[in-house]
Amino acid sequence: MSDASLLEASYDYSDPRDARRAIRTGAMKGNTAGIAPGYTQGNLAILPADLALDFMRYCQRNPKPCPLIGVSETGDPALPGLGRDIDIRTDIPSYNVYRNGELDETVTDIRHLWRDDFVAFILGCSYSFEQALVSEGVPLRHLDEDLTVSMYRTSLETSPAGAFSGGMVVSMRPMTAARAIRAVEVTARFPHTHGTPVHLGDPAQIGISDIDSPDWGDATRIEDGEIPVFWACGVTPQNAIRMARPEICITHKPGCMLISDVPSAYDARLD
Amino acid sequence: MSDASLLEASYDYSDPRDARRAIRTGAMKGNTAGIAPGYTQGNLAILPADLALDFMRYCQRNPKPCPLIGVSETGDPALPGLGRDIDIRTDIPSYNVYRNGELDETVTDIRHLWRDDFVAFILGCSYSFEQALVSEGVPLRHLDEDLTVSMYRTSLETSPAGAFSGGMVVSMRPMTAARAIRAVEVTARFPHTHGTPVHLGDPAQIGISDIDSPDWGDATRIEDGEIPVFWACGVTPQNAIRMARPEICITHKPGCMLISDVPSAYDARLD
């Protein structure tokens, strides 16, 4: 889950500002899971301004897979609403640079790539609601077994906007019916980290033919008396961007998120 | 409240599609309060595309005063997410046309003004949550007394985006403390129509010096044992737009909103 055992001792990784300093200086280049627990982490997508309005429309129309929690000014790498000192060019451990929809390079700093027409988008991720579920009595098997959550393509279509479109990708967490009900209650409080599930029960109803063969992540065992519960997943906008084949797009490397100063429990503040 | 008694009998004004047909043909030009009860109504702002990204950022950063529920494609007057047949150039009873921040004309149709670079924004309004409050046991005095809700400038600042900035405008509804608590519960379900209050109690704490002298609307009597409860108000983005002095901006005439096909109780669907 976490690279915490490998971290330099000179930073306090429970503090989001100190964690970002460690990332900014290059002392911390790894996975952000387990870092600054209790603070919202976000996915990154940087696009040129000529695609930014369409991408914002795509997020507005598809808030469950694309919960927008921050947008930079054009050409400005700051995101003061998420943390006063944030410089999005340096504050993510590792970046993927896509050119014309293809992964071109992975870097730890994008100051040399930054342009006056770049807009940075931060999208909420499931990390916040998973912490809430666990602390409210809904254990999550993929966390207990140190697996990557199971993710699937579905037959659910997103609402298109300009060049952005495509099917919804979902993550799946198995649980009892009683815990599924509790999970809906808990995640209703987190609209900015995918919110309530999009489906539960029969995978075929959303076009998933083999629940044991996820399209991304690891397979998760479903025990007797459990049902699969499906949430909209942040891979959805990543696919939509890739299909749009922008001349350039920069994202976080999976698992290497932006750590914000916004407490996870304060989702409503973003609302 | 409503012009329903003056309406042509050939349309079913309880049906949002039929109400829009009446508006589109010019049979209905008045206030939309009381029309198609139970369906979400929205405020309109049309801006040229070169301001649209900044305005979307302003809404993203200020979701309580600016709850975005629909955005058109550039140059396209359709809003299929809010109603399949909507043509925003004809489907609002009356439009205000602002040029360089000043009201220039009021018209009932904007087909002759529409441009290829126009983007239409629809923002949720308090109408939906007021219906929910009343039906859940929180009476609202301005409705009972047929007054326009009291609105005030405050010392609360919005988060700026590009040319858009300014103070938050709030609406005020007096109620007992017990009903204020209930009102928070109920409006928490309506994030797309301003959501929960921004303040309750002492008006001075948000820079309101005289509660009996609202800046817009009518004064509302506050009885013994009641406290004022304040919600973010849709006048906030209208002021922000006016201050930005766009070359052209078209809004609904106050009270003459877009009637959508989205049931008010389904706020969560937009979410």
The pTM of this model reads 0.88
* Higher-scoring residue by pLDDT: A190, B121: B121
Q: In this complex, do A53 and B57 lie within 8 Å of one another by their Cβ atoms?
A: no
Number of H helices, E strands in chain B: 7, 11
Q: Which residues contact B50 (CB under 8 A, 6 or more apart)?
A: B117
* Higher-scoring residue by pLDDT: A1, A194: A194
- CA–CA separation, A103 vs B225, rounded Å? 64
Q: Does B79 touch chain A (CB under 8 A)?
A: no
* Amino acid A132: pLDDT: 87
Q: In this complex, do B73 and A271 lie within 8 Å of one another by their Cβ atoms?
A: no
Tokens describing residue A127: 């990390």
Q: What ipTM was predicted for this assembly?
A: 0.82
User: Distance from A75 to chain B by nearest Cα, in Å?
Assistant: 12
CATH number of the structural domain spanning residue B190: 3.30.2040.10
Nearest chain A Cα to B163, which residue?
A: A73
* Amino acid A126: pLDDT: 85
When computed from its CA atoms, the radius of gyration of chain A, rounded to whole angstroms, is 18
Which residue is associated with the tokens 């009595």?
A137
Q: In this complex, do A63 and B159 lie within 8 Å of one another by their Cβ atoms?
A: no
Of B271, B122, B150, which Cα lies nearest the Cα of B219?
Answer: B150
Tokens describing residue B196: 């929960």
In a domain, A212, yes or no: yes
B99 in the same domain as B172: no
One digit per residue, the tens of pLDDT, for chain B of length 271 reads 445 555 666 889 999 999 999 999 999 988 898 899 889 999 999 999 999 999 999 999 999 999 999 999 999 999 999 999 999 999 999 999 999 999 999 999 999 999 999 999 999 988 878 988 998 999 999 999 999 899 999 999 999 999 999 999 999 999 999 999 999 999 988 888 888 999 999 999 999 999 999 999 999 999 999 999 999 999 999 999 999 999 999 999 988 999 999 988 766 444 4
- CA–CA separation, B188 vs A13, rounded Å? 34
Residue A226's Cβ-side half-sphere holds a number of Cα atoms within 13 Å equal to 16
What are the start-end ranges of the H helices in B66-176?
127-135, 141-144
Nearest CB among B53, B61, B271 relative to A53 is that of B53
Tokens describing residue A154: 């579905």
- CA–CA separation, B51 vs A206, rounded Å? 38
* Amino acid A256: pLDDT: 92
Of A10, A3, A12, A11, which Cα lies nearest the Cα of A30?
Answer: A3
CATH number of the structural domain spanning residue B21: 3.40.1640.10
Supply φ then ψ for residue B71, to 5 degrees: -140, 130
Following DSSP, what letter does each residue of chain B receive, concatenated? ---GGGS-TTS-TTSHHHHHHHHHTTS--S--TTSSTTEEEEEEEEEEHHHHHHHHHHHHH-TTT--EEEEPPTT--B-TTT-TT-BTTTSSS-EEEEETTEEEEEES--TTT--TTEEEEEEE-THHHHHHHHHTT---HHHHTT-PPEEEEEEEEPPPBTTB--EEEEEEEEEEHHHHHHHHHHHTT-GGGT-S-SEES-GGGGT-S-TTS-SBS------TTEEEEEEE-THHHHHHHHHH--S-EEEEPTT-PEEEEEEGGGHHHH-
B23 in the same domain as B91: yes
Q: Which of A47, A51, A58, A60 to probe the B interface (max B CBs under 10 A)?
A: A60
- CA–CA separation, A56 vs A47, rounded Å? 11
Q: In this complex, do B81 and A73 lie within 8 Å of one another by their Cβ atoms?
A: no
Q: In this complex, do B56 and A60 lie within 8 Å of one another by their Cβ atoms?
A: yes
Q: In this complex, do B53 and A49 lie within 8 Å of one another by their Cβ atoms?
A: yes
Q: In this complex, do B53 and A52 lie within 8 Å of one another by their Cβ atoms?
A: yes
Chain A residues near residue B53 by CB distance under 8 angstroms: 49, 52-53, 56, 74, 119
Neighbours of B247 (CB within 10 A): 12
B148 in the same domain as B90: no
- CA–CA separation, A24 vs A29, rounded Å? 9
- Domain residues for B85? 4-124+245-265
Helix, coil or strand: residue B247: coil
* Amino acid B271: pLDDT: 40
**Distance between first and last Cα of chain A:** 29
B144 in the same domain as B155: yes
* Amino acid B191: pLDDT: 83
Of A132, A108, A148, which Cα lies nearest the Cα of A191?
Answer: A132
Q: Identify whether the C-beta of residue B194 lies closer than 8 Å to the C-beta of residue B129.
A: yes
Nearest chain B Cα to A53, which residue?
A: B53
Q: What is the pLDDT of residues A124-137, one digit of tens each?
A: 988 878 988 998 99
Nearest chain B Cα to A191, which residue?
A: B271
* Amino acid B36: pLDDT: 92
In a domain, A201, yes or no: yes
* Amino acid A2: pLDDT: 46
Q: Is the pLDDT of residue A269 over 90?
A: no
Could you give the number of structural domains in chain B?
2
In a domain, A145, yes or no: yes
B217 in the same domain as B162: yes
In a domain, B83, yes or no: yes
B196 in the same domain as B107: no
Q: SS3 letters for A237-251?
A: HHHHHHHHCCCCEEE
Q: Is the pLDDT of residue A27 over 50?
A: yes
Find the length of chain B. Answer: 271
B141 in the same domain as B97: no
Q: In this complex, do A60 and B71 lie within 8 Å of one another by their Cβ atoms?
A: yes
User: Distance from B11 to chain A by nearest Cα, in Å?
Assistant: 31
Q: In this complex, do B162 and A270 lie within 8 Å of one another by their Cβ atoms?
A: no
B155 in the same domain as B102: no
Nearest chain B Cα to A82, which residue?
A: B61
Residue B215's Cβ-side half-sphere holds a number of Cα atoms within 13 Å equal to 16
- CA–CA separation, B37 vs B31, rounded Å? 13
Nearest CB among A57, A63, A270 relative to B71 is that of A57
Range 32-61 of A in CB contact (< 8 A) with B: 49, 52-53, 56-57, 60-61
What are the start-end ranges of the H helices in chain B?
16-24, 49-61, 127-135, 141-144, 177-187, 235-244, 267-270
Helix, coil or strand: residue A180: helix
In a domain, A265, yes or no: no
Q: Does A163 touch chain B (CB under 8 A)?
A: no
- CA–CA separation, A76 vs A119, rounded Å? 7
In a domain, A194, yes or no: yes
In a domain, A244, yes or no: no
Q: In this complex, do A191 and B56 lie within 8 Å of one another by their Cβ atoms?
A: no
User: Distance from A256 to chain B by nearest Cα, in Å?
Assistant: 24
Nearest chain A Cα to B192, which residue?
A: A271
In a domain, A21, yes or no: no
User: Distance from A61 to chain B by nearest Cα, in Å?
Assistant: 8
B111 in the same domain as B16: yes
User: Distance from B103 to chain A by nearest Cα, in Å?
Assistant: 27
Chain B residues near residue A191 by CB distance under 8 angstroms: 191, 271
